[in-house]
Structure 1
C-alpha cells in the first residue's frame, strides 16, 4: 500500500496511544484502524525482535495507520536487517525531536510501548488484525477512486475502462500484491525450484508443470509452467485450434479425474478458453465429437445413427462437471481479457488460459494506428497476465504466407505474423506442421486405365508417400526458454479433430530423425 492511500499523515493520534486514531472520510466515517493493536504489536517486537521473524506474513510499515507507528516499524526493520537489536534505547537517537512522535510524548513513547508486554501473548493475532484493517483501507481507496472517476465527466467517459481498472486494483488487493510485495530472496526462489524438481521426480511422467495430456509434448517440455507464455502457431488447416482444444480438455479432464478419485496431483487444472473465432457451442461440439469418436462433419449435418447419438449423450453426461470455462466474447481487448481471466482465477481457480487467437485481440487503442505496435502490446499483455495470475497461457497465432512460397513448408520463427515481439515475449514457440496437408494438394489424377505408365507410376509413388504421412503431425518446438528445441511427433485423426501421442518410439517416419 502506498503513502498515497488513505493512511493519512494528518490522522490525529491519542496522547499516549490510549485511544484509537481516526481519519474522517467524506461521509463523516472514520477509516478502519486499531491504534491499540498497532501499539501492542510494536511493543512486543521491541521487547523481542524474533517475534517479527516468526510471523507467517510479516507486516510492512505501510500496513500501519498511525504515521509514528509506520516510522517506528521502518526503523525497526532497518536495524534488524543490519543485525542490530531494535529496542527503545537503540531507537531513541533516531526519534529525538521527531514531529510525529512529539504529540505522543516524544521518545518516552518508545518506552511506554514496552511497558506491559501484553502484545507478546497474541503477536500473530495482532499482526493479522493490523493487516486486515490495512486491506480495508485499500478497499476504501479503490472505492473512492471509482466513485470519483464515475462522477468526473470532464474528459472522455470510458466506463468499461474504469471497471477494468477497478477490478485490477481489487485483484491486487486480494492477492496482496498491492501491499508490500517484495523481491524474492534467492533462498525462497531456490526452495520453490526444489519443489518443482521434486514434483517432476515424483511424477510418473516427469512433470513439473500442467499436463497437456500428450505424453510426447510433456516429455519435451516437462509440462506447462506457471508464468509461461506459449505461442502455438500454424498455417490454416494445420489443426492449431484442434490441438489447443485437445490440450485444454486434457488438462481440465485430468483435474476432474483427480477430484473424483482423490489421487495425487496429476498436472490437471481448471481451464479458461477464450475463443474469439468459434462460439462456445461449436467448441463443445468438437470436444464431444472427439470423446465420442464421431465425425464432426457428420455431427454438424445430423447424419448420425442411434448408437452414435447414445455415445454422444454418454460423453456429455460424463463431462458435465468438466472444469473448462469457454468465453466466446468477440473482439476482446487485451485489458478486458485480463480482467475476465482474473475473475475466473478468483472464482474458479483456473490453472491454464488458452486464447484463440492472438491476432483477433485488440489493443488498448493507444497503438491502433500501427498494427505491429498493437500486436506487440497484446503479446506483452499476455505475458504480463501469465506472470500476474501465475499460470501458463497458450496463445494461438497466425503465420505469414511466406511459408507457402517456400519448398520446405516447415514453419520458422521468422514466419510469426506481424511482430517480432511475439517471439521475444514467448517462453515457448510451437509450430504445428502436417506434411500430409501439403502432400495431398499435390495428388495426381486417379488412374482410370487411360493414363501412361509414367502417370500410373507417379500416382503409385504418391500413394506410397501418402501412406507414410497420413494421420501424422509434428509439433516443432522452435523456442523453449528453459529447455531444448526440436520436433515432437503426434497422431492427428482429422475426422475427429483429435491429436494423440504415438505409442511407439521409432519416430523416423514422422520426419523426426
Structure 2
C-alpha cells in the first residue's frame, strides 16, 4: 500500500494554479504533502493567500526565486497547470492527501513507540489505543455548515421522540428537585458528582443508575474502586429497602427474602452493565463505551471515579495534566457517543479547613480541566457528617454549582443510610 500519491498532490497544486480562489477553500498545510517540492510550492501559495495575492505562475516563480530550480523549474509549474485541467475533484483530492499523510505519521508514531517500548503491557496497549483514537479523530469527516431548515427538522423529530418516549431530554436523576435544577442529564454532556469520602457518592451514583434503568435506558457502570459484588449488594439493598448489613451477612428475615426476590427480578430486567476492572485507562473506557453504544443507542455512562482513571501515557506536567487529559477525553466520549457521562470525583481536604464546609469549585482535587470540561458540577454535602447537633439529620444537599444549560441551586434529599437509598423529601414524609 502506498503512503503517498504524487499525482494527487500535483492535481491539487494544478487546480489552484488554474483557479486561484481554491486556495481559500483548502484545508491542507505544507506538511500534508509528501513531495518536498510540493511542500515548498504550497507554502508559497499559503503566503500569497495571506496577502490576498492572486496565485499564478509568474508571481509564484518570483516568490520561489532560485528555489524554483529545486522543484523542477518553470516548466514543471506549467505542466501542473496544464496536465490537470479539471478542478471539480479538488475536495476529494485534498481528502486523499490528508489520509495519506495520516498513514505516514501513524507509521512513524508506531516505529517510535516500538523503539521506546514501555515495560508495562497495559501502558503499551493504552499508547496504541491513544494513537488509534488520535488518527481516527482526524480521519472523521468534518461536519461543515448545515442549513437551519435541516436543524429545525431534526428538532421536530427530537421533540416528537421526547413526547413519545421521554428519553430525548436526557437521563433522569434520582431526585425530582434535582431534575428541575439540572434539566436532567442531557446527551453529549459531562456531569461531575463530587464529595468528600464517606458522604455517599457511590450510593448516589447507583441510585441514579437504577433510576435511568427504570426509564429504559442502557446503563454502563465503570467501577474502578469497588468490585461488582459490592455494587450489587448496595443496589439490592437500596432497591429492596433491606438493611445493607443483612445483605452482606446473608441474614434475611422471611419478609426480607420476599423483598429480595421481587427486587432481584426488577433489577435483572434492566439493561445495566458493570465493568469493575481496576486501573482502567481512558482509552479502554472509550473503546468499551463505543462498542456498547453500537448495540444500545440510549446509553448513559457512570464512572466511579474520575481520579482513578489512568491517562495511559506519560505526562510531562504531572498528575494535574493527566487528570485534565482524562477530563477532556470524557467530554469527547460524551460527544462522540451522543450520551450523558456522569463521573464521580474526589474533593481535596481544603473543605475541612473552612468553617462552612460546603464544597466549592476550588475543592475539586487535582482539578486540571474538570471545571472547564464539565457541563454540570454537583456537590454532595451532609451537615450531619460534620455537625452532630444539626437539625438536618440524614439530609443530603445536592449543590448544583455549575450548569452550562440551566440554573444552579441546591436540592435536598433524604439519605436513608441503612439502605443506601436516596429519596425526595416529599416521599420520605409521605
The separation in 2 between residues aligned to 1:249 and 1:93, in whole angstroms, is 70
Q: Does 1:413 align with 2:413?
A: no
Residue 399 of structure 2 is aligned with which of 470, 476, 482?
Answer: 476
State which structure, 1 or 2, has the greater radius of gyration over its C-alpha atoms: 1
Q: What 5-or-longer segments of structure 1 have no aligned partner?
A: 1-29, 151-155, 258-269, 368-372, 443-461
Q: Is the 8 A contact 1:231 1:426 kept in 2?
A: no
Decide which of 145, 168, 186 is 2:112's aligned counterpart: 145
- Give the CA deviation at 1:33: 1.4
Structure 1 position 232, deviation (Å)? 1.0
2:380 to 419, 432, 438: 432
Query: Residues 230 and 95 of structure 1: is their aligned pair in 2 closer, same or farther, counting only changes over 3 Å?
Result: same
Tell me how far 1:393 sits from its aligned partner.
5.5
Q: Hey, what's the Cα distance between the residues in 2 that align with 1:399 and 1:130?
A: 48
What is the CA distance between 1:419 and its match in structure 2?
A: 6.2
* Cα shift at 1:280: 2.0
- The 5-angstrom pairing of residues 347-358 of structure 1 reads 347-349=291-293, 354-357=302-305
Aligned partners of 2:310, 2:75: CA distance in 1, in Å? 60
Q: CA 1:306 to 1:280, structure 2 compared with 1: closer, same or farther past 3 Å?
A: same
**Take 1:472 and 1:208, find their aligned partners in 2: how far apart are those partners?**
28
| 1:133 to 2:100 alignment | yes
Residue of structure 2 in register with 1:88 after alignment: 57
- Counterpart Cα distance in 1 of 2:84 and 2:103: 27
Q: How many residue pairs align between the two structures?
A: 401
How big is the shift at 1:433? 2.8
Matched, 1:71 2:40: yes
Decide which moves more: 419-428 or 168-177. 419-428
The residue aligned with 1:447 is none
Counterpart of 1:338 (choices 282, 301, 304) is 282
**Contact 1:234 1:411 (C-alpha < 8 Å) held by counterparts:** no
In structure 2, what is the Cα distance between the partners aligned to 1:422 and 1:114?
A: 49
**Distance in 1 between residues matched to 2:9 and 2:170, nearest whole Å:** 41
Shift of 1:424: 6.5
Equivalences for residues 253-272 of structure 1 within 5 A: 257=217
Aligned to 1:19: none
After superposition, the C-alpha distances for 1:106-152 in whole angstroms (9 at most, x for unaligned) are 133223222144543533433333232222222211221122123xx
Is 2:422 aligned against 1:499? yes
Higher relative contact order (CA 8 A, sep 6+): 2
Q: Distance in 2 between matches of 1:418 and 1:120?
A: 55
Q: TM-score, normalised by structure 1?
A: 0.61
The normalised TM-score by structure 2 is 0.70
Change (3 A) 1:126 1:495: same
Residue in structure 1 matched with residue 231 of structure 2 by the alignment? 283
| Equivalent position SS for 1:120 | coil
Distance in 2 between residues matched to 1:93 and 1:430, nearest whole Å:
62
Name the stretch that deviates more: 83-92 or 345-354.
345-354
Q: What is the Cα deviation at residue 475 of structure 1?
A: 0.6
What's the counterpart of residue 276 of structure 2? 327
Residue equivalent to 2:329? 385
Instruction: Report SS of the residue matched to 2:73.
Output: coil
Post-superposition offset of 1:353: 5.6
Classify 1:157/1:276 alpha carbon distance in 2 versus 1 (closer, same or farther; 3 Å): closer
The answer (yes or no) to whether the contact 1:234–1:397 under 8 Å persists in 2 is yes
Question: Cα distance 1:96–1:228, how it changes in 2: closer, same or farther (>3 A)?
Answer: same
Closer/same/farther in 2, CA of residues 307 and 97 from structure 1, 3 Å limit: same
Is the contact made by 1:246 and 1:499 (CA closer than 8 Å) also made in structure 2? Answer: yes
Please say if residues 429 and 477 of structure 1, whose CA atoms lie closer than 8 Å, have aligned partners that are also in contact: yes
Residue number in structure 2 paired with 1:486: 409
**What is the match of residue 202 of structure 2?**
241
Q: 1:82 to 1:353 in 2, by over 3 A?
A: farther
1:220 aligns with 2:181: yes
Q: Say whether 1:38 aligns with 2:5.
A: no
Cα distance in 2 for partners of 1:90, 1:172 equals 38
CA distance in 2, matches of 1:307, 1:480: 38
- Aligned counterparts of 2:103 and 2:422: Cα–Cα separation in 1: 49
Partner of 1:173: 135
Checking the alignment, whether the CA contact within 8 Å between 2:201 and 2:344 is kept in structure 1 is no
Task: Work out the CA distance in 2 between the residues paired with 1:136 and 1:70.
Answer: 17
1:90–1:485 distance in 2 versus 1, CA, 3 Å: same
